[in-house]
Structure 1
Amino acid sequence: MEGASFSWKDNSCLFDLHLKVQYGTLVGVKGAIAAGKSSLLAAILGEINLVNGTIRQYVRSVSYAPQLPWIFADTIRNNILLGKVMDEERYKNVIKACCLDVDLQNFGKVADLMMIGDKGVNLSGGQKARISLARALYTDADLYLLDDPLAAVDPNVAKKIFDQCIGPRSLLREKTRILVTHQIHFLDEADQTILLTNSRIDEFYSEQPADDEQSNTTTEMNSSDDDKFNFKLKTATTDMNSIVKTETSTDGAVNWNVWFQLFTAPPLHWLGFFLSIILIFTAEAMYDFSNRWLSLWSAKSEKKQSSSFDAYVYLGLTLGTLIAALVRAGFLFYIMLCGSTYFHNQMLTGILYTSLRFFESNPSGRILNRVSKDQQAIDELLPLTLVDSIQYLVLTIGSVVIIGTINPWVLLILVPLTPIFWWLRRFYIRSSRQLKRLESVTRSPIYALFSSSLDGLTSIRAFQVQDDFMNMFMERIDTNSRAYFALLAAARWFSFQLSNMVSLLILVTAILAVALRHQINSSAAALTITYCITIVDLFQWAVRQSAEAENYMTSAERIHEYGQLVPENHKNNSTCSVLVQLPNDWPSQGIIEFKDYTFRYRPELDPVLKNLNLRIESKEKIGVIGRTGMIN
């Protein structure tokens, strides 16, 4: 760097930097908080804008360990490899150097195949930092940028990691390393040291590392017992107690309780449900009666047709139909939106008050899928689809009633068509409902990958694995698209079968209208033919929309599931015997006491605290020490 200044956006964050790093050296970077140490590494990675000066890099590849470890929901092994080919010897050396062998031993048989939750929720801060460091070390790069990787570990482990990973006798002894750290005693062994003050290089000097007894020996407790942790690479072990639970979908029809809760939601409850039924049939009755009145009016003689009474009646029926249709549509939308709001509030309450274990077991992308896409489905798509299906289904029933009233013989065709239609719809619904659930479930990994990739964008670019993540993203989109395509194909197949059935009804009606032309007046016959022509689109659209509404109800079902999450507060749980009634003024003193206390994170896991006996008196200051990630 020569006179280089950098900025994240508009304001500069690094000023007038002059820096030259030789290949194969260890460069230490120190400075106060917010002095610009992490920004310096970001500048080398090209993550911030160069404002003035020049920067030149003569390296082919860069490896990076960020200050905040980026951990995604997968196994420990996959987090370290990050899509690279397994080199067993190098992998074992990295595990040993990063002091992860002890932790993998504590994890049991699954070892490095243990599933990590979203953002490493089931790991300690030190374990996350060492996995992030192991990922950086496993990559064979020319330049290693290490942003305070020793901050989250205890001093003994920090010393061992420095000696084995970063120092002049470490795995990276022949590589160029830039180490940012607040533990400046490690910088005594650095080839060059940089002091950053107020976003500027205040000091830059080179040192000859002195031979120190501590540089060759490790002060790690129980270091003499390292050989007993002989890590063996496993290939066919599955984490049976994985913290990340597989998202499952229910089978069969949507529970009728979900339907009832949607239509009887506050504030109108059952009153709104009954009023909507009354409005539906009232609007349809007025529409059919207005058409029937027009048919009777046109059948009168020319002299009687000129009567203004019939015109006024028809005008009143038409206006009444218009008003009834508007009121019906508005009221149905109001009921549906009240239901979706009720479901949303239930889901929000369930998520806010449930146990933290829920967030550990469910990636953020899965939760985001339900609170965004599924909620959008019942907010926007379900009301439109359901109102359409109700309106057109009632119109279809009204059309059949009018046709049957004028020509009862037409109803004979409904005898074979009705059971065929019922079977087809049942067959289609059973398939499409499961396809819709599959489409919803396969959408969650897309959100999860997008969320985790956004958190680790700097690391992804630093390790140059953008293409790998794009391929992963496309694979998940393809998986979701396959389910969606199958859903669309099933809908088109069902539409074709409905068209055939309605065409048969039109054919029979037309033949009977011609055959019975002497028994039916021309206006009535014209009305039946008109209804038959319109029923083609009405019936097909009504049935398709009703099936689509039931598919969208799977989103309501998924949101309702989150609304039934068990809250963390178990005050009303009479089966819990360990809860006691505490006085209102508790705690009156700062005394903490444990008696034979054993604790585990989840019921299926081993205890992490065993038979703990401890009493802390009021106003005492207690220090807790121990190896990072150690189960005590």
Structure 2
Amino acid sequence: MIGERGINLSGGQRQRISVARAIYQETNMVFLDDPFSALDVHLSDHLMQEGILKLLRDDKRTVVLVTHKLQYLPHADWIIAMKDGTVLREGTLKDIQNNDPELYEHWKTLMNRQDQEFEKETISESKTVLERKNLRRAMYSREAQLKTQQDEEEEEEELESDDEDDVSSVFRQRAKLPWGAFLRYLTSGGAPLLLLLILSQLLKHSAMVAIDFWLSEWTSDAYNCTGAAQQPNCSHGNGTQALQGCRILCIYPMVFGLLCCSGIALCFITSLTVEWTGLKTARNVHNNMLKRIVLAPMRYFDTTPLGHILNRFSADTNIMDQVRTV
């Protein structure tokens, strides 16, 4: 399975795809920057003969080829030899042979050496191919072939299950967030805002508890005062205490009003603090993420799917903007 933009392709596979795109692109000029570096000798020769010479040169298209394969120099119409970023020699192969015979002899020895290596590899590969064919014909029968087919099917099923496990593991990692991520999110807004947020939350809940406690005290004292006033056979002292308790009941509405006002003010301050902290935190996280993405090396973009990067700036940023997790 080929991932997004070929992130799971090897270097040679990527180079083959790039060369194929350049060859089949209908342009008048084609620039090939060392296309044989990640290919073996046979693939390089096949690419030169069937791709560059047959599909490009015969089609009257200009090809600029950068390579260190000197055996392909006779096919070049114009040669530019460079060394340390400067042009060493320029012209056709015959011009270089006439003007700089030493360089031409050096190239010739290298070309002969590369041709010998190519012949050795072709001979060795042909021998190995023949040996493999003979061994297969001698050793493997029809039952063995069926068995190998069954083994290959089992291996394919195992690979598919491994791929599913990899996908599920990715989703599991996506679903689980470490506690350090929440801590970094809270501290990205700044220490003063975080302390103000914690303090406002504590004061708000303390005010709510104080209001409930004051209401319970108020109702209990009112019940005791009402019961004492309704007793017919109470003494003078008890009646006086009941009247004093009834006078004390006038203090409860004032304190209750002050507690309610303070609770409303603390709720308003807490809401403003939450919104302010969430806005500043989302802005800082977005700016830091954008800075990291801009300064990231190209290797990161080659190995990371583009959808994952876009989700960080779209879905996750929307969650931080719409849903306050503080």
User: Normalization by structure 2: what TM-score?
Assistant: 0.43
- Which protein is richer in helix relative to its size? 2
- Which protein is richer in strand relative to its size? 1
User: Normalization by structure 1: what TM-score?
Assistant: 0.24
